[in-house]
Amino acid sequence: MTAIDILLLIVSVFLISIIVLQNSKDDVSQAFSGEKSELFANQKQRGIELWINRATSVLSVAFFILAIIATFFVERF
């Protein structure tokens, strides 16, 4: 394993952890019943929700970039 692989693994674990911490905006019953969802309603995020949202965005971009970089360092046999 190279340093890029280890960094990619660490970022992916943090990304999964941050996503699990996020609050769900819909009930499961509404998702499958066809009721009108207010998922995209105008709601400002404040405090910890704002921080978790920004951390998710940063980690997602970091994961994407590291995954692309890691493909260039694949050892071909």
Size of the chain, expressed as the number of residues it contains: 77
- Average model confidence (pLDDT) for the chain? 81
Which domain covers residue 66, as residue numbers? 1-19+44-77
- Average pLDDT of the residues in 17-31: 73
0.85 exceeded by pTM = no
What Å distances lie between residue 39 and 25, 43, 50, CA to CA? 6, 9, 16
- Provide the pLDDT for residue 1: 74
- Overall domain count for the chain: 1
Residue 37 lies inside a defined structural domain of this protein: no
In a domain, 27, yes or no: no
For position 46, what pLDDT does the model report? 79
Distances, alpha carbon 47 to alpha carbons 17, 32, 51, 66, 67, in Å: 18, 30, 7, 29, 30
- Residue 31 is assigned to a structural domain of this protein: no
Least-confidence region, from 7-16, 18-27, 40-49: 40-49
Residue 77 included in any domain: yes
The answer on pLDDT for 53 being more than 60 is: yes
What lies within 8 Å, CB to CB, of 4 at 6+ separation is 66, 69, 70, 73
